[in-house]
Amino acid sequence: MRPEKIVIELQNICNHKLNIMKQILSLTIAQKEALTNKEDQGINLLNQIIEEKQSLIDIVNQLDHDFITNYEAIKKLLKIDSFEECTEEPVKGFKQLKDTVNEIVNVTKDISQLDKENMEMANSNMNELKAQLKNIKTGKKVINSYNRKYVETPSILIDKKR
């Protein structure tokens, strides 16, 4: 395959991946909003967002596989080790491809940062729920101890006056 065709294919893959990564970024932002909403609707929305993100991640994984295949082919044809080595444009569209890859990296960094914040928020919510459950269990034990019917046992030994 000619290098120009490979670069075009790589550019198409990167454009598709960039669009999906932007969708993942918007879902990650929505995920953060769902984490702040602690009602049942927020939890259901959070589950839905996670499922959508996972399906998009699966698509990205396939695109990455396709990209790597073409990337290895172009590296062999151009006799380079990486895109960063090329200071000039060896093939038409190569600079645009590098720019798109850099944009994907930046979006990925944004997603990673938001995911880290979301994880901290999820852990915080989890700790709050644990504390609430502990209080509920303690309250339940107290209520049960007050509601327990005491069994009165009759005295077996009766003292008699002599």
User: What per-residue confidence (pLDDT) applies to 68?
Assistant: 93
What are the CB-based long-range contacts (under 8 Å, 24+) for 7-11? 7/74, 7/91, 7/92, 7/93, 7/94, 7/97, 8/93, 9/70, 10/67, 10/70, 10/71, 10/74, 10/97, 11/93, 11/96, 11/97, 11/100
All residue ranges of the chain with pLDDT < 70 are: 38, 40, 148-162
pLDDT tens track for 94-114: 889 889 999 999 999 999 999
Domains in the chain, please, with CATH? 3-124 (1.20.58)
